[in-house]
Chain A
Amino acid sequence: MNETAIEGVLERYGGAGRDSLIPILQEVQESQGFISREAVVKIGMHLGLPPSKIYGVATFYNQFRFEARGKYHVQVCRGTACHVKGSAALFDAIKRELKIEDGQTTRDGLFSLEVVACIGACGLAPVICVNGEFFAKMTSDSVRALIKEYRDREA
Chain B
Amino acid sequence: MTDQSQIIIEVNGREVEARPGEMLLAALQRAGIQVPTLCRMEGLLPTGACRMCVVEIEGARGLVPSCAFPVTSSLKVKTHSNRAVQARKTIIELLLANHPDDCLYCVRNGSCELQNLAEDLGVRERRYAGERTRQQLDSSSPSLVRDPEKCILCGKCVRVCEEVQGVAAIDFVGRGSKTVIDTAFRQGLNMSTCINCGQCVVVCPTGALHEQSYAKEIMDAIADPKKVVVVQHAPSISVTLGEEFGMKAGSDVAGALVTALRRLGFDRVFDTSFSADLTIMEEASELVHRVKTGGRLPMMTSCSPGWIKFVEQFYPDLVPNLSSCKSPQQMMGALIKSYFAEREGLDPRQIFSVSIMPCTAKKFEANRPEMAPGGVSDVDAVMTTRELVRLIRKHGLDLKDLPSDTADTPFGERTTAGKIFGASGGVMEAALRTAYKLLTGTELELAAIPAVRGLDGRKELELEIGDLKVGVAVVSGLGNAHKLMQEIQNGRSGLHFVEVMSCPGGCIAGGGQPLHHDTEAVRARMQGLYKLDRESNLRTSHSNEAVQRIYREFLGEPLGEKSHALLHTHYHKRSDVI
- With a cutoff of 8 Å between Cβ atoms, the chain B residues found around residue A51 in the complex are 184-185, 193, 578
The complex places the Cα of A51 from the Cα of B170 at a distance, in Å, of: 9
User: What is the number of residues of chain B that contact chain A, defined by CB distance less than 8 Å?
Assistant: 17
Contact of A37 among B167, B169, B185 (CB under 8 A): B185
Contact with B along A116-147 (1 / 0, CB 8 A): 00000000000000000000000000000000
Q: Which of B167, B172, B192, B578 contacts A56 (CB 8 A)?
A: B172
* A37 touching B175, Cβ below 8 Å: no
Cβ of A52 within 8 Å of any chain B Cβ, yes or no, is: yes
Q: Is B183 close to A, CB under 8 A?
A: yes
How far is it, in angstroms, between the C-alpha of A52 and the C-alpha of B182 when the chains are bound?
8
Q: How far is the CB of A45 from chain B (nearest CB, A)?
A: 11
Shortest B196–chain A CB gap in Å is 15
Whether A13 is near chain B, meaning CB under 8 Å from some CB there, is no
* Nearest-Cβ distance from residue A21 to partner chain B, whole angstroms: 13
Question: Which residues from chain A contact B175 at a C-beta distance below 8 Å?
Answer: 59-61
Task: Give the chain B neighbours of A66 by CB distance below 8 A.
Answer: 185
Q: How far is the CA of A54 from the CA of B192 in the complex (A)?
A: 14
* Chain B residue contacts of A81, Cβ below 8 A: none
Q: Contact mask A38-69 → B, CB, 8 Å, 1/0?
A: 00110000000011111110011100001000
Bound-state Cα–Cα, A41 to B193, Å: 12
What CA separation (Å) do A54 and B185 show in the bound complex?
10
Q: How far is the CB of B58 from chain A (nearest CB, A)?
A: 38
CA distance A7 to B174 in the complex (A): 26
Q: Which residues of A contact B183 (CB under 8 A)?
A: 52, 55
Cα distance A41–B191 in the bound complex, in angstroms? 13
With beta carbons under 8 angstroms apart, the residue of B162, B184, B193 that contacts A55 is: B184
Closest Cβ of chain B: how far from A16's Cβ, in Å? 19
Residues of B near A40 (CB, < 8 A) are: 184-185, 578
Report the nearest A residue to B192, measured CB to CB. Answer: A52
Check A52 against B170 for contact (C-beta < 8 Å).
yes
Q: Which of B66-116 contact A (CB under 8 A)?
A: none
Q: Are B162 and A50 in contact (CB under 8 A)?
A: yes
In the docked arrangement, what's the CA distance between A54 and B168, Å? 11
Q: Interface code B154-190, partner A: CB below 8 Å = 1, 0 otherwise?
A: 0000000010000111111111000000111100000
CB distance B185 to A53 under 8 Å?
no
Name the distance in Å between A138's Cβ and chain B's nearest Cβ. Answer: 26
Complex Cα gap A52–B161 (Å): 11
Bound-complex Cα distance A54 to B183 (A): 11
- Pair A50/B185 contact, Cβ less than 8 Å: no
**Which B residues are in CB contact (< 8 Å) with A37?**
184-185, 578
Cα–Cα, bound, A75→B193 (Å): 35
A68→B578 CA distance, assembly (Å): 19
Contacts of A59 in B (CB 8 A): 173-175
CB distance from B149 to the nearest CB of A (A): 19
Q: How close is A115's CB to chain B, nearest CB, in angstroms? A: 13
Q: Which residue of chain B has the shortest Cβ distance to A57 in the bound complex? A: B171
Q: Which chain B residues lie closer than 8 Å to A60 at the CB level?
A: 172, 174-175
A-B CB contact pairs (8 Å), 15 listed: A37-B184, A37-B578, A41-B578, A50-B171, A51-B185, A51-B193, A51-B578, A52-B184, A53-B168, A55-B183, A55-B184, A55-B185, A59-B175, A60-B172, A60-B175
If A51-B184, A56-B172 are given as contacts, then 4 extra A-B residue pairs at C-beta distance below 8 Å, sorted by A number, are: A40-B185, A51-B185, A55-B171, A56-B173
Residue numbers of A with Cβ under 8 A of B are 37, 40-41, 50-56, 59-61, 66
Rank and list the top 9 A-B pairs by shortest CB-CB distance, nearest first: A50-B168, A56-B171, A51-B184, A55-B184, A52-B171, A52-B184, A51-B578, A60-B175, A59-B173
